[in-house]
Every structure is written in C-alpha cells, then in structure tokens.
Amino acid sequence: MVVLVCARTAWRLHESGELARQSKALQRSPALSTMRLLIVGDSTAVGTGATTPDGSVAGLVAQAFPQLHIENRARDGAQFGAVLAQLDGESRFAGCKRCEATWNA
C-alpha cells in the first residue's frame, strides 16, 4: 500500500512539473491598444493547467477586452515575495519600499 502511494505521488509530481514546463503566459500587444494590464503572480496568472493560453485568466480577460495590451510577468512557482521582482522595470512601482517591508515581514 505504501509503495503504491509513493508511486502515485511521484507520478503526480512529474505531471505537475510537465504542466509547468509546457505553460506559456499569455501576452497581447494589439496595434491600437487603448488600455494596459500588467499581470504578476504564480501559476494561476501564467495559466498553468489551462488547455491553451487563451483559456487562462489572462486569455479570458483578453477576449473580453480585445484592445487591451497585456504584459504577463507571472512565473510558475512564484511566491508572494517574488511580486516585487516581477514589477521590476515598471516605473510606477519603483521604490515601493513600504510595500517591500510589508511583504517581507
């Protein structure tokens, strides 16, 4: 029984890793974009497990707002503290030391 549980766990870990390797964060840059959306986060924001990038949360938002420019910086396995690194280069969030102190507490 224990061997069966261990084998099943190993298989599930392998499958999870494979899903993460295959996932691609949806990016959109329409020529006449009227709005911008920056997405940060973990596998949910990447769309891991979705059949296609269009089936991810970002993909569903893109379908609802076709003129939306989407920059998706999310990464599989990201933890809460990685959000600041994902925001790196976004001038509106530069120098957010109060947020950093709160998130790292």
Answer whether 0.95 is exceeded by the pTM. no
| Residue whose tokens read 């691609």 | 24
- Of the chain, the percentage scoring pLDDT greater than 70 comes to 66
| Per-residue confidence (pLDDT) for residue 100, from 0 to 100 | 46
The rounded distance, in Å, linking the Cα atoms of 92 and 51 is 33
The rounded distance, in Å, linking the Cα atoms of 11 and 26 is 28
Q: Is 37 helix (H, G, I), strand (E, B) or coil?
A: strand
If one compares 83 and 70, the residue with the highest pLDDT of the two is 70
What's the pLDDT tens digit per position in 28-64?
A: 888 888 888 888 888 888 888 888 888 888 999 999 9
Q: What is the dihedral of CA 88, 89, 91, 92, to 10 degrees?
A: -40
